[in-house]
Amino acid sequence: MFEASRLDANRNIVSDSGGSKALAVKLLLRFRNGDAGLKAADNRPMIRLFAALSLPDEAAHALQRRQTGVEGARWRPLETLHVTLRFFGEIREDIARDLDGELAAIHQPPFDLGLAGVGAFGEGADIHALWAGIAENPDLRRLARACETAARRAGLKADTRQYRPHVTLAYLRRPDPAEVGAWIQANNLLQSPPIRIDRFGLHSSFLGRDQAHYRLEAEYPLLS
């Protein structure tokens, strides 16, 4: 079994007690240092946030071995592989503080999930991403719904899109469809051992010149 709690030591982790105050202080210091880069219409700083499950090292390395075989693919770095629960978008620091409090209030026991199959988003020349799938899992969907509820309670608009859990492995730009099809055929039997999920995180996203960079801002334990 893969253990999701085995996080890389270099990740920026808030203690399990979470806490709106800790997150607010971190974000405020970043804004003062000009790290956020976004501002609302009223000139207040903004930050792009999402809730996600980080993959343990074993699962991430298993996926990394499949990141080959498509010319021009921008394969995602090992430390960025994750399962998104809810993308919140660019929000103000005060809303981020409220969101942190709502996420910390989620109560759900730990659970197992598994990787299953691969695929692509888009068709033909418009294929733009490769992904690894997640086996159908009621506990995962329950946690995603709880994150959606937390977002609404924090004042964010509802996300009405269908939830399709996956791990993005690569971004593409006008790839050869035949090459993508061959990659899917070669990897579609992907199945992982159970991955133990005992926490989820609130991550920030900063757009670099070539790709997005993620940072773990807060963690929330799943307790029995």
Q: How many CA atoms lie within 13 A of 84 on its CB side?
A: 19
- Centre a 10 Å sphere on the Cβ of residue 217 and count the other Cβ atoms it contains: 22
Among residues 25, 30, 2, the alpha carbon closest in space to that of 15 is found at 25
Q: What is the pLDDT of residues 182-217, one digit of tens each?
A: 999 999 999 999 999 999 999 999 877 667 789 999
Q: Which two tokens stand for residue 190?
A: 């992907």
Helix extents (H) in 44-192: 57-64, 93-104, 138-153, 177-187
**Domain 2-221, CATH number (from 1.10.10.10, 3.30.2040.10, 3.90.1140.10, 3.40.470.10):** 3.90.1140.10
Share of the chain above pLDDT 70, in %: 79
Domain boundaries, the chain: 2-221
Whether the pLDDT of residue 4 is over 70: the answer is no
Single pTM value for the model: 0.82
* pLDDT for 3 beyond 60: no
CA dist 128 and 170 (Å) reads 8
